[in-house]
């Protein structure tokens, strides 16, 4: 179990760092940490890894306080963004290295290294040097190396960012499969929110060094804590709005019927509608709730879907649809509308 308890850290002479972060990753669980550049997500990983020591708070691994321990004594497997395979060692020697430093005999460590390579589909490349391997293959070797010594936790620092799109999806599944098989706590740091949503059990969102929300992917996507998170996680229509009565809000695109429970009349809010929840209507459609006619400003073909920006009133409604016919208007189901508190960090 990986545990950060009210951890704060500030880089000397800088404002950047993390502040009062509490985060627990259970055995077998994969938590992804996302956030913009400089939000503190890599600092969080470095604090867990032991490359940084917290100013206050505790880093606890399997109920043991490791806050002041150097990385070599924390027993965590780490997959780095650049893989970090030692260029003067062959693939199996790289994987065997953590066993070597633990005093495992040569024959045993070779056997275990080759078994670990086989688990990630690299058994036939064990004698190759890192320079003879592609990015994806190096990534697999790095993953095997991080797990071969049965660490207490796995830390993944943007492990897929250097791979091309197809390989990224393949490796994403591979990481998840291997982590699940190992049954250890894993923390994935990534700037790719799609990657985080697709493999994590829970997603933690960092902003300005603070952990602003942690939730399962679906909950985070459907019920973001504020406007900035909604903007950061997935595509979103976000309209400044005002509650004008029970079940009714005023937005730049017009008046919308929705659930306003918990918001008094006159309250300023942000209305969130995900583009895929907007229903496209034909030119002659009538009788729908929250139906609007508009002018198509942009129509992007994305393969399986289209992303359309429709000018309505004084605003724009973005929708994503599989329909390929002409669109004259849209309807927004009331239950697809979430009212969020405005966030000062939103831009």
Partner 1 sequence: MLLVTVFYLIFLAAPILLLLMGSFGETWSNTLLPQGFTGRWYADIAADPSFRRAFITSLQVVAATCALNVIVGLPLAYAIHSAANRGVRFAARLAALMPVAAPELVLAFGFILVFSSDTLPWLGSFWLLVAAHLVLTLPYSVTTLLADMEQMRLADYEGVAASLGASFSQRARDIIVPLLGASLTSSLLTVAALSIGEFQISNLISGFLSRPYPVVLLQAFYGATGFACAATVVLLVLATVASIASSLTARATAGGRTA
Binding test (CB under 8 A) with partner 1, winner from 9, 92, 97, 292: 97
Cα-only R_g, the chain: 24
185 touches partner 1 by CB under 8 A: no
Note whether 70 binds partner 1 by CB under 8 A.
yes
Does residue number 135 form part of the binding site for partner 1 (CB under 8 A)?
A: no
Q: Any contact of residue 68 with partner 1 (CB under 8 A)? A: no
Query: Which part of the chain contacts partner 1 (CB under 8 A), choosing from 15-23, 83-91, 228-236, 339-347?
Result: 83-91
Q: Per rule CB under 8 A, is residue 161 in the interface with partner 1?
A: no
Residue range at the interface with partner 1 (CB under 8 A); choices 21-29, 79-87, 104-112, 195-203: 79-87
Beta-carbon count within 10 A of 43 CB: 23
- Least distance (Å) between residue 88 CB and partner 1: 5
Note whether 101 binds partner 1 by CB under 8 A.
Answer: yes
b vs e for 272-295, b when ≥16 Cβ sit within 10 Å of the residue's Cβ?
bbbbbbbbbbeeebeeeebebebe
Closest to partner 1 by CB, 48 or 197: 48
- We find the least distance from the C-beta atom of residue 307 to partner 1, in angstroms, to be 39
**Site membership for partner 1, residue 92 (CB under 8 A):** no
Residue 131 or 324 with smaller CB distance to partner 1: 131
- Distance set, CA 252 to CA 195, 239, 256, 279, 311 (Å): 33, 7, 10, 18, 10
User: Which stretch in 16-24, 66-74, 217-225, 296-304 sits in contact with partner 1 by CB under 8 A?
Assistant: 66-74
Q: Which two tokens stand for residue 143?
A: 């993953």
Which of residues 20, 68, 102, 296 is near partner 1 by CB under 8 A? 102
Rounded CA-CA distance 140/338 in Å is 41
Contact criterion met (CB below 8 Å) for 239 and 336: no
User: Judged by CB under 8 A, does residue 49 bind partner 1?
Assistant: yes
Query: Is position 262 an interface residue for partner 1 (rule: CB under 8 A)?
Result: no
With binding defined as CB under 8 A, does residue 232 bind partner 1?
A: no
Please report the sign of the dihedral spanned by the C-alpha atoms of residue 311, residue 313, residue 315, residue 321. Answer: negative
User: How many Å from the N-terminal Cα to the C-terminal Cα in the chain?
Assistant: 36
Q: Give the strands of the sheet with 237-245, arranged side by side.
A: 254-257, 248-251, 237-245, 268-273, 338-340
Structure tokens at 206: 């960092």
Q: What DSSP assignment string belongs to 226-260? A: BHHHHHHSS--EEEEEEEEETTEEEETTEEEE---
Instruction: Kindly write out the interface string for residues 115-134 of this chain, putting x where it contacts partner 1 by CB under 8 A and - elsewhere.
Output: ----------------x---
CA 314 to chain CA centroid, nearest Å: 33
**Closest CB 103 distance from partner 1, rounded Å:** 10
Q: Which of 15, 37, 63, 72 binds partner 1 (CB under 8 A)?
A: 72
CB 90 within 8 A of CB 129: yes
Which residue ranges make up the site for partner 1 (CB under 8 A)? 49-51, 70-78, 80, 82, 84, 86-88, 97-98, 100-102, 131, 145, 149
């Amino acid at each position: 179990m990986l545990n950060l308890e009210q951890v704060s850290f500030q880089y000397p002479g800088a404002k950047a760092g993390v502040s009062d972060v509490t985060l627990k990753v259970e055995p077998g669980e994969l938590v992804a940490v996302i956030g913009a550049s400089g939000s503190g997500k890599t600092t969080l990983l470095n604090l867990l890894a032991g490359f940084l020591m917290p100013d206050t708070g505790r880093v606890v691994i399997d109920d043991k306080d490791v806050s002041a321990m150097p990385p070599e004594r924390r027993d965590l497997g780490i997959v780095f963004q650049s893989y970090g395979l030692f260029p003067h060692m062959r693939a199996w020697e790289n994987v065997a290295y953590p066993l070597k430093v633990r005093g495992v005999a040569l024959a045993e460590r070779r056997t275990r290294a080759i078994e670990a390579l086989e688990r990630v589909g690299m058994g036939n490349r064990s004698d190759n040097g890192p320079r003879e391997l592609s990015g994806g293959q190096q990534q697999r070797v790095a993953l095997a190396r991080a797990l071969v010594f049965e660490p207490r936790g796995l830390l993944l620092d943007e492990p897929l960012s250097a791979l091309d799109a197809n390989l990224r999806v393949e490796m994403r599944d591979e990481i998840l499969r291997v982590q699940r098989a190992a049954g250890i706590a894993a923390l994935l740091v990534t700037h790719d929110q799609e990657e985080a949503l697709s493999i994590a059990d829970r997603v933690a969102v960092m902003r300005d060094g603070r952990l602003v929300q942690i939730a399962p992917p679906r909950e985070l996507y459907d019920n973001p804590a504020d406007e900035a998170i909604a903007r950061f996680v997935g595509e979103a229509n976000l309209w400044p709005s005002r509650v004008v009565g029970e079940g009714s809000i005023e937005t730049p695109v017009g008046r919308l019927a929705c659930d306003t429970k918990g918001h008094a009349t006159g309250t300023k809010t942000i209305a969130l509608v995900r583009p895929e929840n907007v229903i496209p209507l034909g030119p002659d459609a009538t009788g729908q709730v929250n139906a609007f006619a508009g002018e198509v400003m942009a129509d992007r073909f994305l393969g399986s879907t289209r992303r359309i920006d429709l000018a309505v009133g004084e605003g724009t409604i973005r929708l994503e649809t599989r329909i390929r016919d002409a669109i004259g208007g849209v309807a927004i189901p009331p239950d697809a509308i979430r009212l969020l508190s405005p966030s000062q960090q939103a831009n």
